[in-house]
Amino acid sequence: MNDDEVLCTIKWTVADVKKSLTEEFNREPTEEEIQECIDEIDWDLIEEQSISTGWTIINTAASEIKED
């Protein structure tokens, strides 16, 4: 097993933001609305919370293995 093997990658795209706005507005958002939403998002917070949640899940799995 290679220690550098990537097991998971999270990718957020403009299409994801557009989909969210489309569902929220019940219509296609404008380019300006999409950009405004992208600018409003705290991308560092998303990354930090994703990492934190990932560690919680990994540690839970490790604990379950230990209990077996």
**pTM for this model (two decimals):** 0.79
Question: Is the residue at 45 inside a domain?
Answer: yes
Q: Count structural domains, the chain.
A: 1
Question: Is the residue at 2 inside a domain?
Answer: no
Q: Decide: helix, strand or coil at residue 12.
A: coil
pLDDT of 31-66, one tens digit each? 999 999 999 999 999 999 999 999 999 999 999 998
Residue 68 reports pLDDT greater than 90: no
Q: Which residue reads 């990718």 in tokens?
A: 11
Domain containing 21 equals 15-67
CA quadruple 29, 34, 36, 42: dihedral sign = positive
Q: Go through the chain and tell me how many residues it has.
A: 68
Stated as kind and residue range, the H or E segment containing 49 is: helix 43-67
> Please, what is the Cα angle at 51 between 34 and 23, to 5 degrees?
30
13, two tokens: 């795209």
Residue 29 reports pLDDT greater than 90: yes
Mean pLDDT of the chain, nearest integer: 96
